[in-house]
Amino acid sequence: MKTSRIFALAMMAAAGGSVAALAKAPIAAPAPVDPAYMWDLSDLYPSPEAWTAERDRVKAEMDGFSKYKGTLGKSAKDLLAALSAMSDARRAIQRLSAYSGLKADEDVRVAANQERNQLAAALGTQFGVETAWVTPEILAIGGDKIHQFEAAEPDLARRFGFYLDNILRSAPHTLSAESEGVLAAAGNVLAQPDAIYSAFANGEAPFPTVTLSDGKKVVIDQGSYARYRQAANRADRKKVFDAFWGMWKKYEATLGATLTTQVMGEVFDAKVRHFPNSLAAAVFADNMPEAVYRQLVAQANEGLPTMYRYLKLRKKLLGIKGDLAYYDIYPSMFELKKPLHFTVADAERIALDVTAAYGPEYVADLKKGFSGRWMDVLPRTGKAGGAYMQGSAYDVHPYLHLNHNYDYYSLSTFVHEWGHAVHTLLTHDNQPFELSDYSTFTAETASITNEMLLSDYMVAHAQTDAEKLYYLGELLELMRGTFFRQTMFAEFQLALHEEVEAGRAISGARMSEIYCGLLKKYHGDAEGVMKIDPAYCTEWEFIPHFYYGFYVWQYATSMAGAASFADAIEHEGKPAQHRFINLLKAGGSDYPYNLYKKAGLDMATPAPYQALLARMNKTMDEIDAIEGRMGH
């Protein structure tokens, strides 16, 4: 799964906790970098000193927010002035955070850059504390008077109408100004389970060493696990799994305690804000019906025969005799004699070809991005891993952090992250800053639709049947990993919260028991499709997303939405193209469920999920046909 980080204020406090260990690392001279493959952060600030000066200015400005207390209900102009000042500060903080995060990831060994990132996180926390009184004061003014102010001051309605509507509907869940201030100040404390997990998983875990069948000794840490779990030699895969998950098992109780604390914090927040449960609290910000979450889980369960079909196909193609095992799920089902190789120039050319399906406006934005130095493209020593798009500097442009390795996964990641970047450009060009913060619920659809179209493009342009099979296999794995796996995670998270809400105790051992039941259900253990070894049921310990609240489910809904959009764009043409582009342009101007409905999808109904399952089955039909044609 690819990771996209759009730094929002809500995540700033969490960001600070994971860098303390890194800040102690010795400074190393950065490796020389070809500027053509490196971003230019001077578009944000000309120097670190300029960043510091701006940070000091914003901090001083926030210290003066108290002067607005008690003024919001005086007049429409007073309300607009106060909200504008706070919006300007938030806009500046997001730009500061963008720079500090990007600079920190250039070389994680440079202490000064990590410390700057902590200062940005602290600034975000301060913003929350200094503005905690705003919501209670607006609620005290009342909806009738707020609507009168909006009618009298068009700019207030245009820029802040959606924000004010959100506050007014939050009345049953908003506490006194004092209580809101306490909860805001507690943000850093409530972020500590993630910080503890990150410190252990990324810095202190004693990862095991294994000797592979070729005699090579390998430390199986998080990076090498992702590589060697795909080993062609089945005995090597088992050895990697046994060693890796055996290490995590030793910390089942400790990591169970950290995750329990995370869940308890979320349940606590839901209770004090008078939500019926933590799921309702989690979806409230997006005004998302709980029915969407529950429909996703229901449809994934209904679609398990498709998942089982995929697993049986995998077993057949890998030539496995006897039981299919969990360690058989990662190696590619199709190997090419000559490895695929995609340069950065190839990735740009293919991305332009693929996204031509969206029309000239989208392509023009993509070309604009390619012409600037918006990307840090290639891996190097000290650079942070992974890939993400950083789009929170509204007045500048998106930045992309990539680690391009010239393979197909890198190409897919490239078009995925540029999907986020163009979404950001379209939003910023069509919405004021206050309406530019789009939901993850729509964000991932913007990028995953690109991946769907890329897969279809690569299959259509494949030179041989072997290449077609490879691309079809990669698409299957994308759908398996993003829809079924993420929904399994979502079901696990829901189960943990419901256990705590019912007053039952949870522990690491209980989490492994719950997770094991889900692993067996999703992989057909009882049906004889795959045998799940209980030794691997500690996998939940390895998933950092469980510390992000109810988050991962949106990858799965986005996959379903992307399947529907890709099919519609390919078959309908311009009408579907316009619906999709309008969704991207809308940004955060409406609730994401409503935006989807305007684009023709009701995510609370079975239809989008069934479209995804249909695409998955169609892909397997194509594989079967090609295999039959090749006489396999």
Task: Report the C-alpha gap between 418 and 369 in whole angstroms.
Answer: 9
Q: Residue 389, SS3?
A: strand
The distance in angstroms from the start CA to the end CA of the chain is: 31
Q: Among 546, 552, 554, which Cα is nearest to 260's? A: 546
DSSP secondary structure, 24-85, as one string: TSPP-PPPP--GGGS--GGGT-SSHHHHHHHHHHHHHHHHTGGGGTTTTTT-HHHHHHHHHH
Nearest-angstrom CA–CA distance, 477 and 586: 31
CA distance 124 to 9: 6
CA-to-CA dists, residue 241 to 82, 314, 328, 477, 596, angstroms:
56, 18, 10, 19, 40
Nearest to 89 by CA among 47, 52, 45, 131: 131
What gap in Å lies between CA 417 and CA 348, rounded to an integer?
A: 12
State the SS3 of 69-88.
CCCCCCCHHHHHHHHHHHHH
User: Cα separation of 331 and 600, whole Å?
Assistant: 37
Q: What angle do CA 91, 96, 99 make, to 5 degrees?
A: 130
| Enzyme catalytic residues | 417
CB burial of 303-320 (b: ≥16 within 10 Å; e: otherwise) equals bbebbbebbbbbbebeee
Residue 142, number of CB atoms within 10 A of its CB: 13
407 and 342 in contact (C-beta within 8 Å)?
A: yes
509, 253 Cβ separation under 8 angstroms: yes
Q: State the Cα–Cα distance between residues 508 and 87, nearest whole angstrom.
A: 42
> What is the rounded CA–CA span in Å between residue 428 and residue 394?
7
Do residues 307 and 609 make contact, with C-beta atoms less than 8 angstroms apart? no
Angle at 224 between CA 219 and CA 229, to 5 degrees: 110
> Where do we find the tokens 């390795």?
405
Rounded distance, CA 117 to CA 575, Å?
44
Structure tokens at 612: 């995804």
Task: Count Cβ atoms below 10 Å from residue 509 Cβ, excluding itself.
Answer: 11
Q: How far is CA 370 from CA 212, 351, 400, 421, in A?
A: 42, 10, 11, 11
The answer to whether 133 and 180 are in contact (CB under 8 A) is yes
